[in-house]
């Protein structure tokens, strides 16, 4: 193996490592940053850019070609980015494009690596982090509400069960109560002495 081949191989390994670190540093929901695509460019060329970028990066990061413990995770992020951005009806894609447009306002530089676009990506990253935290808070709130509702339903069911048991016990003791009352009534009638009439 020649020195040039060894250098080329080493260069490819370094590119793979750099690309892996870059993808893992991106926010997991910022699919444009993962594929290094500027979403503010012409929307008609987006599907072809997604395919092209995915193909190049998947060849670099395929877990069979790179011996790194995080390679499968990076490849999964890459694959998800390709799936989301390839589907024009995908809600995540629409949300991400709207977010980029909102953050970018008037800046429309085509170069992905320009400082303006880097600033936009940083703002989008912060917005996605905030959105993720809000979703987590909302999810926790929903879980607490569900737990509270479930415990209330359980306590209501237990209360209904106690009431049924009490009514059942009340009904089962009805005969004994009636019998006790009858015995009491007979005894009290026998004890009564008729009053003697006194003539005055």
Give the pLDDT of residue 80. 92
The burial class, CB within 10 Å (0-12 / 13-18 / 19+), for 145 is: exposed
CA 84 to chain centre: 17
- Find out if CATH 3.40.640.10 is the number for domain 10-148: no
Decide if pLDDT at 180 tops 90.
no
Dmax of the chain from CA atoms?
150
pLDDT (tens digit per residue) in 153-177: 999 999 999 999 999 888 888 888 8
Contact 69, 47 (CB under 8 A): no
Give the pLDDT of residue 170. 87
Output 115 or 137, whichever has higher pLDDT: 137
Gap between the Cα atoms of 103 and 91, Å rounded: 18
Cβ–Cβ contacts within 10 Å for residue 73, how many? 15
Domain ranges of the chain: 10-148
- Least confident segment among 6-20, 25-39, 72-86, 99-113: 99-113
Sequence-separated (6 or more) residues with CB below 8 Å from residue 38:
32, 109, 110, 111, 112, 117
Cβ–Cβ contacts within 10 Å for residue 177, how many? 10
Q: Is the pTM of this model over 0.75?
A: no
Decide if pLDDT at 106 tops 80.
no
The burial class, CB within 10 Å (0-12 / 13-18 / 19+), for 20 is: buried
Mean pLDDT value across the chain: 85
Decide if pLDDT at 192 tops 60.
no
Contact 18, 2 (CB under 8 A): no
Please give the C-alpha separations between residue 20 and each of 31, 38, 77, 89, 96, in angstroms, as whole numbers. Answer: 15, 19, 10, 29, 22
pLDDT (tens digit per residue) in 60-92: 888 887 888 888 999 999 999 999 988 888 888
Token output for 148: 């509270």
Give the pLDDT of residue 36. 87
Residue % of the chain over a pLDDT of 90: 26
């Amino acid at each position: 193996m020649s020195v040039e081949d060894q250098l080329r191989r080493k260069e490819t390994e370094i590119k793979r490592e750099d690309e892996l670190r870059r993808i893992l540093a991106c926010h997991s929901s910022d699919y444009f940053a993962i594929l290094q695509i500027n979403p503010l460019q012409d929307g008609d060329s987006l599907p072809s850019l997604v395919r092209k970028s995915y193909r190049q990066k998947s060849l670099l990061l395929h877990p069979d070609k790179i011996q790194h413990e995080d390679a499968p995770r990076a490849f999964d992020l890459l694959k998800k980015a390709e799936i989301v951005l390839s589907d024009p009806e995908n809600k995540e894609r629409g949300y991400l494009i709207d977010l980029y447009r909102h953050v970018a306002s008037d800046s429309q530089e085509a170069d992905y690596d320009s400082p303006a676009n880097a600033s936009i990506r940083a703002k989008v990253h912060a917005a996605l982090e905030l959105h993720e935290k809000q979703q987590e808070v909302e999810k926790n709130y929903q879980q607490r509400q569900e737990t509270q509702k479930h415990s209330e339903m359980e306590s209501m069911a237990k209360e209904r069960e106690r009431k049924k048991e009490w009514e059942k016990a009340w009904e089962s003791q009805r005969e004994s109560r009636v019998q006790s009352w009858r015995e009491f009534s007979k005894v009290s009638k026998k004890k009564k002495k008729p009053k003697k009439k006194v003539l005055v």
